[in-house]
Amino acid sequence: MAAPVAPAQPRTGARAAIPGRTLRTDRWWVSPAISGGVLAAFAVYATWAAFQNSDYFARPYISPLYSPCIASICERARSGAVHGIHVPSIGIFGPWWGISPAILILIFPLGFRITCYYYRKTYYRSFWLSPPACAVAEPHKRYTGETRFPLILQNIHRYFFYAAALFAALNTYDAVVSFRNTRDQWGHMGLGTLVLCANAVMLSLYTVSCHSCRHIIGGRLKHFSKHPIRFKAWGVVSKLNKHHMELAWVSLVVVALADLYVRLVASGTIHDPRFF
Interface ranges with ligand FES (CB under 6 A): 116-118, 157, 210-212, 244
Q: How far is the CB of 149 from ligand FES (least distance, A)?
A: 21
Nearer to ligand FES, 62 or 247 (CB): 247
Nearest partner of 36 among 113, 110, 119, 108, judged by Cα: 119
Nearer to ligand FES, 180 or 244 (CB): 244
Nearer to ligand FES, 93 or 167 (CB): 167
Nearest partner of 84 among 182, 173, 167, 168, judged by Cα: 173
- What number of other Cβ atoms are within 10 A of residue 237's Cβ? 19
Nearer to ligand FES, 33 or 165 (CB): 165
Q: How far is the CB of 27 from ligand FES (least distance, A)?
A: 26
String of DSSP letters for 211-275 = HHHHHHHHTT-S-GGG-HHHHHHHHHHHHHHTTHHHHHHHHHHHHHHHHHHHHHHHTTSS---B-
Q: How far is the CB of 244 from ligand FES (least distance, A)?
A: 6
Nearer to ligand FES, 117 or 179 (CB): 117
Q: How far is the CB of 210 from ligand FES (least distance, A)?
A: 3
Q: How far is the CB of 74 from ligand FES (least distance, A)?
A: 28
First to last CA, the chain: 55
